Amino acid sequence: MNRIVLLLLLLSGANLCAQGPNLTKDIEAVESKVIEWRRDIHKNPELSNREFKTAEKIEKHLRALGMEVQTGIAHTGVVGILKGDTDGKVVALRADIDALPVTERNDLPFKSQVKTTFLGEEVGVMHACGHDTHTAILMGVAEVLSKNTSQIKGTVKFIFQPAEEGAPPGEKGGASLMVEEGVLENPKVDAIFGLHINSQTPINTIRYKPGGSMASAQRFVIDVKGKQTHGSQPWGGVDPILISAKIVDGLQTIISREAELTNEAAVITVGKITSGVRYNIIPESAQMIGTVRTLDYDMQKEINERMQEMVPTIAKAYGGEATIDIQTTTAITYNDEALTQLMVPSLEKAAGKENVSIHKAITGAEDFSYFQQKVPGLYFFLGGMTPGTQEAYPHHTPDFIIDEDGMLLGVKAMTQLTLDYLNM
C-alpha cells in the first residue's frame, strides 16, 4: 500500500475491528492446540531446506481448514490462501519453520533427540530460536480466521517459510527465494506482518520499533596463506595462525575506533577459525569465517571497504597473503513507519496498551527483511520469558527455552492485525 494512503487512513481515524464473542472464544479454544503443535514440532526439528515433515504437518492442517494450499515454494515452503466473504486488500502473515544445529540441554518431555549431519559433522538439531512457536502460532491464527471469514474483507496469505537461518552452502533458500518465486504475487500482497518470540522479554508483552529494527547480516570468509615449517623453527616459515590473530585484532579496531557507533550499532565477529593438523607443525594456511552486522547501509559500505583494505595488508606485513570475501545474507529489517503507526493500536488492543513498548534496534538479523523490501511490513517481538526468571537463556543456545503461556498473545496479535488492516 502507498505510504500516503496509509497516512490518510491513520489521520481519518479508521475504526479498528472489534473481536466479537465468537472470535474471542475461537482464539481461546485454539490455545491447547497451538501448544500441542509447538511441542510436536519442537520434538521433531528439521534444518534449513530440509523441513519436509514440518511442511507436511502444515499442509495437512491448512487443507483441513479448506484453504487453497501451495507447496514446494523455496524447496519446502507452504502457503495457504484464505478468502474472506467480501473482497478487499491482501495481507500476508509469515512464520519461519526451520531449526538449528544445536544439541538441546533442556529436560523437557518433548526435548529434541534428533541428530543429523551438518557440514560434515554429526550435530544435534533443536528449535533454539523459537521457530516452532512461530509456526504453531500461525497455524492457530489460520484456524481462528478460517472460522470467521465473515469478518475478513479481503484475502489472507499464510506464508510458512523455510531456511530463515540460512540455506546450506551451495543452496538458495529462505525469504529471498520465496520472493523470487513469486510468493508475494497471485494474489498481490499489500502488507505483511510477522513476529519473533523472545526468551528475554516477559510473556504477555510486545515490543516493536518503527524503521530499522534488526541488522543486516553479512558472512565473510578470510583465507590466509603462510609457509609451513616445524613448530620448533618458526623462522623457517610464515605462521598463518599468528597472522589470523593479528587480523582478528585489526578487524575489531574498525568497530572500536572507526565506526561511528553513536549513529548506529555495528559488529564484526569471527565465529570460526580452522588451521593446522598437529601441535608441532606450523601450518601452511588458515581460514576464518565470521559475520558483520550493521543497521545503516552507509556504515556497512565503509566497514566493508576497511575490511577489504586491512586483511591483505596485515597478512603482507607478516610475510603472508590473505583474501577476504564478503556476502550479504540478510537485509536490514525495516518496519514501514506509516504502517507501524497505523497498526500499533491493534497491538495495544491485543496486549493492553501498558504491555506494548518500543525497543532499541538490535544487531540480530531476520530475512523477513526481504519481504519488507517489496511490500510494507511490520515485524514485532513477542514475550516468551516467565516473569521473575533469574536467568533467561539467549537464542541459539542449548538451554534456550520459552514459556508457552505467552503464545496465545501471538495468536491474538496476529489475528487483530489482520482483521484491523483488512477492514480499514
Helix (H/G/I), strand (E/B), else coil: 18: coil
Contact 198, 384 (CB under 8 A): yes
Site of grid cell 497505523: 342
H or E element: which one contains 183? none
- Is residue 257 left, alpha or beta, with left meaning phi > 0 and alpha meaning psi from -120 to 50? alpha
Q: What is the C-alpha separation between 154 and 276, in angstroms, rounded?
A: 60
Q: Is 164 tagged catalytic? A: yes
C-beta of residue 144 within 8 angstroms of C-beta of residue 158: no
Closest Cα to residue 313, out of 224, 418, 220?
Answer: 224
Catalytic residue among 98, 367, 403, 420: 98
For residue 234, cis peptide bond before it (omega within 30 degrees of 0): no
Q: Which of 164, 190, 239, 420 is labelled catalytic? A: 164
228 three-class SS: coil
Give which of 152, 163, 120, 89 is closest to 375, Cα–Cα: 89
Q: Is 98 a catalytic residue?
A: yes
CA atoms in the 13 A half-sphere facing the CB of 219? 9
Buried b or exposed e, range 204-242, using 16+ CB within 10 angstroms = bbbbbbbebbbbbbbbbebbbebeebeeeeeeebbbbbb
d(CA 184, CA 376): 12
Give the CA distances from residue 52 to residues 58, 97, 121, 133, 163, in Å, rounded to whole numbers and listed in that order: 10, 10, 21, 17, 12
Task: Give the catalytic positions in this structure.
Answer: 98, 164
